A and B are shown apart, each in its own frame.
Chain A
């Protein structure tokens, strides 16, 4: 008797489990299907959500006064670096062209952005119609100045990117890398010879390559050749604008990648000749990626420059281009979320590890080399392949089971 009862109970139990599972299975399959179908969209939404969450986390930390001053000072540069990394990823990861002159576009953006904001500061007095218009609408004029300087920086960096892109994108591979590097250095070299002053009364700008040409009366010299950008105060860049720029960049880049144009760009990267024979205008698509990237880098430069009262030109040297490249490579070529995370972590890490400052760059490059060696090692590749294969098999079996049951 006892034995019989035991059997019945076991039967009942297994039936109950099956019923439960079938209830659970349906939503799980649905979720899986949705995930497979909208994989990209979900990843993108996750990226936005992550940035917004990070924003609120930082804001609440500032409110609760839990954040150190040095960390708070890093918030805007982090935003700038994220934008730079994401935009470089568009060139290197998506378009497949190694650009080593990204800091050059950043510099163009920084200079033009500062010029625009300084001009607006002195050209529009508190009585001018333009100023009053925003005053009446209850908008802070500093915000307007920042936004307009971002736009100006983006436009100018985009124009420079286009001019550089015409010769550069005709070249391939290593040549392209070295020419972008050369252009980055040329931009820096020219910019370090530039002096710009603004008339404090009328807002008239005075550009010159010779320091002594500038009349001292009424003029404020704010771009001083080799000393870089000086006297750019008060700071008009805020964390909100920084996050806004990050979201804007993500919106542009992620939508571009997923569009018809983005697929064409990727096709040109994967096989130039095949893409050409399919009738794609390779130069055009490479140019779209290059100019967009330059544009966003310029905006990041304007944001970066507006956060500091003075910036030296060495901030925009090849080292910075390489640093951004490290962000991109470690985050994963072509992986936007990866760029965002690696830019944040790698900018924060030295802040947190102040005492290891001497070894910082060394650790960076060792990690960079190891990443390249490991991801290209045949052993690791076959291992990843095996794991993927195993996962696929497991997944396939589950699916067939599901199919048989339903």
Chain B
């Protein structure tokens, strides 16, 4: 039972990280109608920026987080302006290929700057783990603990989710985003600055990516290297599709479910086939409900 609960907590933890990444994917997809493949690598850049501030400059982790968030926001806006904006009118295939190119560009730049060896990420939060539960069975003590980083991850995920929902529903910019995602042309006619809206979306998505990158590396799920972001990026996209791409609660639900499925699958099915298991679920979901769990049905106009 305790083992199961431990897996559950780990699953929730990684699931929260996936959810934060998936929020970035889903927002960009909803507003710009494009699959930002480079999102996973923005995560990696965010983690590296935080690492640099912490390890080279020796500053406090909070400054590192802030630095990473600001750096990634600028990076996100730059990527959008330079690579995606000229392709607004192009086919989705062209945009997707450019995004894949951008992803590899970031990976290779990181490799040139920071080298391809893995780095150990500094711990961003100190403190003892909270013991939730303790049993002694056959002379073996089993404890269920909740480490500070677990709490931090889940709490930040929850806060981000609420803040984002409020932002989308209550602010003027959020309203503009909803309009642009509904109909770009009509939004423009109503006096909404579409380019600005898309840029803001990318900025928010990239800022979330920076947070996710730090959480991912701080929870020791992945060592810090130029390819850190690619697999979590793909999995988070899977989560976004799973929950219904374009929907914010969907991304959250999908991320957490995916984290749980992955961790429980790893524990009870096969640790080697865990990735196959996750992708298999994506395929099944897409076949049964092509728009995801909470997605809207799209009608095709001729």
User: Taking beta carbons and an 8 Å cutoff, which residues of A are in contact with B?
Assistant: 92, 96, 98, 100, 167, 170-171, 173-175, 177-179, 181-183, 185-186, 189-190, 192-193, 273, 318, 322, 325, 329, 333, 358-359, 361-362, 364-366, 368-369, 372-373, 375-378
Cβ contact within 8 Å between A368 and B92: no
**With A322-B104, A365-B104, A373-B98 known to touch, is A190 a contact of B286 (CB < 8 Å)?**
no
B94 within 8 A of A: yes
In Å, the complex CA distance between A318 and B233 comes to 13
Contacting residues, chain B, for A182 (C-beta < 8 A): 238, 279, 282-283
In Å, the complex CA distance between A368 and B83 comes to 11
Q: List 20 A-B contacts (CB under 8 A).
A: A96-B93, A174-B35, A175-B286, A178-B234, A178-B282, A182-B283, A189-B273, A189-B276, A190-B273, A193-B270, A362-B108, A362-B112, A364-B104, A365-B101, A368-B97, A372-B87, A372-B90, A373-B83, A376-B89, A377-B86
Cβ contact within 8 Å between A186 and B280: yes
In Å, the complex CA distance between A57 and B112 comes to 38
Contacting residues, chain B, for A368 (C-beta < 8 A): 97-98, 100-101, 104
In Å, the complex CA distance between A366 and B103 comes to 11
Contacting residues, chain B, for A375 (C-beta < 8 A): 94
State the Cβ distance, B262 to closest chain A Cβ, in Å.
13
Cβ contact within 8 Å between B238 and A178: yes
Contacting residues, chain A, for B35 (C-beta < 8 A): 174, 177-178
In Å, the complex CA distance between A3 and B112 comes to 78
**With A322-B100, A362-B112, A368-B101 known to touch, is A185 a contact of B92 (CB < 8 Å)?**
no
Cβ contact within 8 Å between B86 and A186: no
Residue among B94, B108, B230, B272 making CB contact with A189, cutoff 8 Å: B272
Q: Which of B65-120 contact A (CB under 8 A)?
A: 83, 86-87, 89-90, 92-94, 96-98, 100-102, 104-105, 108-109, 111-112
Contacting residues, chain A, for B98 (C-beta < 8 A): 368-369, 372-373
Which applies to chain A's interface (DSSP): helix, strand, loop or mixed?
helix
How would residues 259 to 280 of chain B score, 1 for a CB under 8 Å from any chain A CB and 0 otherwise? 0000000000010110110011
Question: Which residue of the partner chain B has the closest CB to A323?
Answer: B104
**With A171-B290, A362-B108 known to touch, is A376 a contact of B87 (CB < 8 Å)?**
yes
In Å, the complex CA distance between A186 and B138 comes to 40
B287 within 8 A of A: yes
Contacting residues, chain A, for B100 (C-beta < 8 A): 100, 322, 325, 368
Q: Which of B239-298 contact A (CB under 8 A)?
A: 241, 270, 272-273, 275-276, 279-280, 282-283, 286-287, 290
Cβ contact within 8 Å between A170 and B287: yes
In Å, the complex CA distance between A378 and B88 comes to 11
Cβ contact within 8 Å between B83 and A365: no
In Å, the complex CA distance between A181 and B101 comes to 15
**With A173-B92, A362-B112 known to touch, is A372 a contact of B101 (CB < 8 Å)?**
yes
Cβ contact within 8 Å between A186 and B276: yes
In Å, the complex CA distance between A179 and B302 comes to 26
B237 within 8 A of A: yes
In Å, the complex CA distance between A362 and B108 comes to 6
Residue among A98, A181, A365, A377 making CB contact with B93, cutoff 8 Å: A98
Residue among A100, A179, A358, A372 making CB contact with B283, cutoff 8 Å: A179
Apart from A329-B97, A358-B112: 18 A-B pairs, beta carbons within 8 A: A100-B100, A167-B286, A171-B286, A174-B35, A174-B96, A178-B241, A178-B282, A185-B234, A189-B273, A325-B100, A361-B108, A362-B112, A364-B104, A365-B101, A366-B101, A368-B104, A369-B102, A369-B105
Cβ contact within 8 Å between A179 and B101: no
Cβ contact within 8 Å between B279 and A185: yes
Cβ contact within 8 Å between A179 and B108: no
State the Cβ distance, B294 to closest chain A Cβ, in Å.
16
In Å, the complex CA distance between A167 and B90 comes to 27
In Å, the complex CA distance between A182 and B281 comes to 10
Contacting residues, chain A, for B234 (C-beta < 8 A): 178, 181, 185
Residue among A96, A175, A376 making CB contact with B241, cutoff 8 Å: A175
Contacting residues, chain B, for A170 (C-beta < 8 A): 287, 290
In Å, the complex CA distance between A322 and B112 comes to 20
Question: Which residue of the partner chain B has the closest CB to A322?
Answer: B100
Which 5 A-B residue pairings sit nearest by Cβ, starting from the closest?
A: A182-B279, A189-B276, A376-B90, A368-B101, A369-B101
Contacting residues, chain B, for A173 (C-beta < 8 A): 92
State the Cβ distance, A384 to closest chain B Cβ, in Å.
15
In Å, the complex CA distance between A273 and B302 comes to 7
Question: Which residue of the partner chain B has the closest CB to A98?
Answer: B93
**With A178-B238, A183-B279, A186-B280 known to touch, is A167 a contact of B287 (CB < 8 Å)?**
yes
Contacting residues, chain A, for B105 (C-beta < 8 A): 362, 365-366, 369
In Å, the complex CA distance between A167 and B102 comes to 29
In Å, the complex CA distance between A355 and B276 comes to 38
Question: Which residue of the partner chain B has the closest CB to A96?
Answer: B93
State the Cβ distance, B244 to closest chain A Cβ, in Å.
12
Cβ contact within 8 Å between A373 and B237: no
State the Cβ distance, B63 to closest chain A Cβ, in Å.
31
State the Cβ distance, B161 to closest chain A Cβ, in Å.
23
Looking at A98, A173, A178, A322, which has the most chain B CB atoms within 10 Å of its CB? Answer: A178
Cβ contact within 8 Å between B104 and A175: no
In Å, the complex CA distance between A98 and B97 comes to 9
Question: Which residue of the partner chain B has the closest CB to A166?
Answer: B287
Contacting residues, chain B, for A378 (C-beta < 8 A): 89
Question: Which residue of the partner chain B has the closest CB to A272?
Answer: B300
Residue among B83, B94, B276, B290 making CB contact with A190, cutoff 8 Å: B276
